[in-house]
């Protein structure tokens, strides 16, 4: 499969097309804890949040737990998985550790939760990019058959975060190239307990933003706009989404 944007007059960088195509293939394939069908359904549910009346009730409420109702689902994912996806997309600033533990205790494993986080975040990158250039959503890929690999990193532990992470000193050869380069900030550790998800997300994310090794370089221009312009946009977007990172 190859991503294309025929409705837009803008020229999209080849490296972006390549990263987006790789992510669509990554999304369709069986993951670590979720099947290809479940993974594509997650991306479909991300899009369905836009039409969910209960999401608006939750977002407008003083507490997201005070509203009564159910999410409008477009998939056959479990109600708790739908709640996880909708809350992450619609109201991430008010998620709590107890809410995460409730989702995990309901039957969504730590690994499946982390995998879902990575897929939701990357699917939103894809859809936001399309919207940003005035294009419709890119059609979702057909899910591939096969079983999840169900790999658990031996170094994963829950201590510094709400979910298990693999600290750089605990990474093993079986985890793959979990921390390439010399940077290992906590944002780079967030998905580390599911290495395949971490690698799939960051392959897409750095192509849309900047490679990690260049984050500290404010003098070199890597994109069509300056680094100062990039950071102004990033800071404003973070503020609008109540992201304190």
Spatial CB neighbours of 147, under 8 Å, sequence gap ≥ 6: 30, 35
Q: Are 37 and 143 in contact (CB under 8 A)?
A: yes
Instruction: Tell me the pLDDT of the chain averaged across its residues.
Output: 92
pLDDT tens digits for range 190-222: 999 999 999 999 999 999 988 777 777 888 788
In angstroms, the CA 221 to CA 23 distance is: 26
| In the block, residue with structure tokens 């730590």 | 110
Mean pLDDT calculated for residue range 118-124: 98
- Reduced to 3 states (helix: H, G, I; strand: E, B; else coil), residue 77 is coil
| In the block, residue with structure tokens 């803008």 | 10
Which comes out higher in pLDDT, residue 116 or 243? 116
Model confidence, pTM: 0.93
**pLDDT > 90: percent of the chain:** 75
Residue 76 burial (10 A CB sphere; 0-12, 13-18, 19+): exposed
Residue 107 burial (10 A CB sphere; 0-12, 13-18, 19+): exposed
Which comes out higher in pLDDT, residue 242 or 147? 147
Mean pLDDT calculated for residue range 222-228: 86
Mean pLDDT calculated for residue range 75-87: 96
- Of the pLDDT bands very low, low, confident and very high (cuts 50, 70, 90), residue 115 is very high
In angstroms, the CA 115 to CA 18 distance is: 22
């Amino acid at each position: 499969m190859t991503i294309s944007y025929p409705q837009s007059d803008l020229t999209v960088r080849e490296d972006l097309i390549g990263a987006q195509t790789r992510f669509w293939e990554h999304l369709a394939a069986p993951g670590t804890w979720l099947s290809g069908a479940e993974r594509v359904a997650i991306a479909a549910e991300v899009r369905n949040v836009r039409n969910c009346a209960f999401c608006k009730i939750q977002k407008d409420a003083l507490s997201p737990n005070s509203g009564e109702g159910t999410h409008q689902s477009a998939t056959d994912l479990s109600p708790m998985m739908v709640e996880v996806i909708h809350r992450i997309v619609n109201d991430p600033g008010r998620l709590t550790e107890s809410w995460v533990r409730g989702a995990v205790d309901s039957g969504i494993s730590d690994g499946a939760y982390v995998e879902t986080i990575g897929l939701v975040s990357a699917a939103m990158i894809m859809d936001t990019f399309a919207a940003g250039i005035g294009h419709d959503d890119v059609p979702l890929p057909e899910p591939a058959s096969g079983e999840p690999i169900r790999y658990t990193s031996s170094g994963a532990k829950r201590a510094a975060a709400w979910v298990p992470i693999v600290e750089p000193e605990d990474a093993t050869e079986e985890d793959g190239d979990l921390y390439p380069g010399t940077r290992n900030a906590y944002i780079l550790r967030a998905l580390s307990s599911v290495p395949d998800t971490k690698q799939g997300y960051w392959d897409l994310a750095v192509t849309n933003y900047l490679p990690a090794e260049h984050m500290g370089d404010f003098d070199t221009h890597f994109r069509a706009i300056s680094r100062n312009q990039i950071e102004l946009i990033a800071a404003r977007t973070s503020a609008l989404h109540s992201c304190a990172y």
